[in-house]
């Protein structure tokens, strides 16, 4: 007879894509399913993201679920409590510390779901998301629809001139574009 050691198995899931690709919508879908399964959840987002609500993560199609806004990733460890599922939206807005936070939570036996942009407006990897994808057990890449031609889009086109890497905004500042319709920003050098 085999000795079976049962242990809570934790893991990391990542949802990435361009803006307007349904990342937050997919995150909310997974969290609703966890709620149906009576799993305790904790949801976090960076304080910098105040586009729709300070106390919710909100998709572009207005789906919402309550969340806690945090200033830095280490707060997540303190606030996750007994949650079996820990969700983090807009992961690209956290420092590299988020990588260790995700690892620690998963090692504790929790399901960790992180959603965020995999590329910035210049089409470059948006740290720390590539590093989180590298340690994740599961990665889902979502695609938007190119506003120019209607093909699948995996780029975020900034339509205003601003050289800052992080500019919080909506469709007044960004558009989803495919590889062919994406244009390098004038300040991309």
**Topology of domain 11-142, per CATH?**
Rossmann fold (3.40.50)
d(CA 114, CA 86): 8
- DSSP letter at 8 equals P
Is 11's pLDDT higher than 80?
A: yes
Q: How confident is the model at residue 3 (pLDDT cuts 50, 70, 90)?
A: low
Query: What is the DSSP track for 28-67?
Result: HHHHHHHHHTT--EEEEEETT--SS-SSEEE-TT--EEE-
Of 176, 183, 184, give the one whose Cα is nearest residue 22.
176
Is 189's pLDDT higher than 60?
A: no
- Residue listed under structure tokens 């050289």: 163
pLDDT digits (tens, 9 = 90+) for 39-91: 999 999 999 876 666 777 777 776 878 899 999 999 999 999 999 999 999 99
Is 169's pLDDT higher than 90?
A: no
47-52 contacts, C-beta under 8 A, 24 or more apart: 47/71, 48/90, 48/93, 48/166, 48/168, 49/89, 49/90, 49/93, 49/168, 50/168, 51/168, 51/169, 51/170
Q: How confident is the model at residue 163 (pLDDT cuts 50, 70, 90)?
A: confident
Q: How confident is the model at residue 162 (pLDDT cuts 50, 70, 90)?
A: confident
pLDDT at 8: 75
Annotated catalytic sites, by residue? 90
Contact predicate 6/131, CB 8 Å = no
d(CA 76, CA 73): 6
Of 189, 134, 180, 186, give the one whose Cα is nearest residue 162.
186
pLDDT at 64: 78
């Amino acid at each position: 007879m085999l000795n079976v050691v049962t242990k809570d198995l934790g893991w990391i899931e990542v949802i990435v894509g361009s803006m307007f690709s349904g990342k937050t919508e997919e995150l909310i879908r997974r969290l609703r399913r966890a709620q149906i399964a009576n799993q305790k959840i904790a949801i976090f987002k960076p304080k910098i993201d105040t586009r729709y609500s300070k106390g919710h993560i909100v998709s572009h199609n207005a789906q919402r679920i309550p969340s806690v806004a945090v200033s830095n990733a280490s707060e997540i460890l303190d606030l996750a409590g007994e949650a079996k599922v820990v969700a983090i939206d807009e992961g690209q807005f956290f420092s590299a510390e988020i990588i260790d936070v995700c690892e620690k939570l998963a090692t504790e036996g929790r399901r960790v779901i992180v959603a965020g942009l995999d590329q910035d407006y210049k089409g470059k990897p948006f740290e720390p998301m590539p590093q989180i994808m590298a340690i994740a057990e599961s990665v889902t890449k979502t695609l938007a629809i190119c506003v120019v031609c209607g093909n699948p889009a995996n780029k975020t086109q900034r339509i205003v001139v601003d050289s800052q890497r992080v500019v919080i905004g909506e469709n007044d500042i960004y558009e989803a574009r495919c590889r062919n319709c994406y244009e390098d920003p004038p300040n991309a050098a």
